[in-house]
Structure 1
């Protein structure tokens, strides 16, 4: 959302037109946006000494439909601007006196719930069709998103013969990995705040080469969106220095399931072959094996 991306600048540009109460709100937000993001309109008003309705009017005069939409814009700023030290400080403020397990798991639950409600099903289905129709499938995800990329790559190899994961060790190696990408290929880019510039650059290059880009990211404000034909958004609000990747992983699971069903016969043949290999070479330990060992 463009308004979200320019929120602080918009507040600065409009500052002279604000009432005294609105200026107090603006001052607090610009100096403490990392704290304001978690405040209700009533609580924010109480802190700066104005009414709840004044806070709501402040949000609507900036172009938002209401305070909740304004708050989401603040979340975008927090996700993109906070460094690791600031994230840790924010976490201490949020969970220091609470049940850490409940706070973190409830946050993950909320991320999945919001993703479920907001995910564009048509965009999702188009992404699935594009992957099925592609000549080659590339997956790129840097920094903490690399774990998502490797998970997706692992399971896509059960479905397709043409899957490649892009090295995230360096931008030069990443570019070498995609130098043959073309218009009959798909590239799936995965990145969440703070966004990996290497991933964004690989997506940019792939678009120039005519590849179909699919972005798994957090919002329309993500730099990934510019280089993708299809965008799948998942909530990833951080719990601490670690990114919350539960909701993105759920979207990946949904993609794997949809792609498996689209290629059901091939996947079944592959799994039959693999099950024979796993059994022959004792890849997995079964409960029966454990019982036999305990009886020795």
Structure 2
């Protein structure tokens, strides 16, 4: 809903009461500040009651203030520059034990993701990986790190995995030139969304491949091209996003694949261990 919350407000503006227009004006002009206020604090800031704030969210079609607030926070994350993110994070976390606050926040992201992830989509994603002729994995900018984690682990157990280097758009398409209906593309994109990733998943979809998308919302620009959507919460942690939830999903995918192909994977690792020992890949300590 990040992409339509501001438009919803603009569309309904003429029907708002005087108090609701005050809320709308603050959201549209200072959404970065309002996004992390409780309904009570936003009411005080605007000069209306808490109940007026809640009714405002309901009139926009949200089930409650928390859902509305999440949509505004998503809007913030898609628009803010790194310096603005740093300032917002400082306001949110304040002072004190930053380590505890950040780690507690990360724990809540995993819990939130677990409660809301589509399990059928998760298991279908695993099946798509297992049945694919070729597995393409891609992330760009900050999400390249997520893609590399998945690629590294998949490449240990399969020979048909390709990491799509997020270079120029032309080079991306050259690497994906042969993608087709028997293949799967696994793509990672979180705010601020990479236009290169949108183009890549669109290309994969147009060529008949299954597309598994890791992202933060159904309104992500990649969602319309996804065969399977794996949604993970990834709120800001200073200028960077926290990716603990998508990493946890990656872990679950690898564990599920291992369980389904245990015998073959054990045999493969036996061979790998012999190679690692022979060439002293790892230290003895």
TM normalised by structure 1 equals 0.93
Q: What's the counterpart of residue 132 of structure 1? A: 130
2: CA distance, partners of 1:169 / 1:117: 35
Q: What's the counterpart of residue 30 of structure 2? A: 32
1: CA distance, partners of 2:146 / 2:5: 31
Compute the displacement of 1:286 (Å).
Answer: 3.7
**Structure 1 stretch displaced more, 234-243 or 272-281:** 272-281
Q: What's the counterpart of residue 223 of structure 2? A: 225
Q: What's the counterpart of residue 153 of structure 1? A: 151
Runs of 4+ residues deviating >3 angstroms: none
- Deviation readout 1:110-167 (Å, 9 max, x if unpaired): 1111111111111101111111111000001100111111111111012211000001
Q: What's the counterpart of residue 20 of structure 2? A: 22
- The one of 17, 39, 42 equivalent to 2:40 is 42
2: CA distance, partners of 1:180 / 1:7: 39
Secondary structure of the corresponding residue to residue 72 of structure 1: helix
2: CA distance, partners of 1:12 / 1:98: 39
Q: What's the counterpart of residue 141 of structure 2? A: 143
Q: What's the counterpart of residue 78 of structure 1? A: 76
2: CA distance, partners of 1:14 / 1:212: 38
Compute the displacement of 1:22 (Å).
Answer: 1.1
Counterpart mapping for 1:102-181 below 5 A: 102-181=100-179
Task: Give the RMSD, CA atoms, in angstroms.
Answer: 1.3
1: CA distance, partners of 2:4 / 2:135: 35
The total of aligned residue pairs comes to 285
Q: Are the counterparts in 2 of residues 107 and 239 from structure 1 also a CA contact under 8 Å? A: no
1: CA distance, partners of 2:214 / 2:91: 30
- The one of 7, 10, 17 equivalent to 1:9 is 7
Q: Are the counterparts in 2 of residues 139 and 187 from structure 1 also a CA contact under 8 Å? A: yes
TM normalised by structure 2 equals 0.96
2: CA distance, partners of 1:192 / 1:225: 11
- The one of 90, 94, 116 equivalent to 2:92 is 94
2: CA distance, partners of 1:87 / 1:260: 38
1: CA distance, partners of 2:221 / 2:14: 31
Structure 2, unaligned stretches of length 5 or more?
none
Structure 1, unaligned stretches of length 5 or more?
288-296
Q: What's the counterpart of residue 250 of structure 2? A: 252
**Structure 1 stretch displaced more, 135-144 or 13-22:** 13-22
Secondary structure of the corresponding residue to residue 187 of structure 2: strand
Compute the displacement of 1:5 (Å).
Answer: 2.1
Compute the displacement of 1:93 (Å).
Answer: 1.8
Secondary structure of the corresponding residue to residue 138 of structure 2: strand
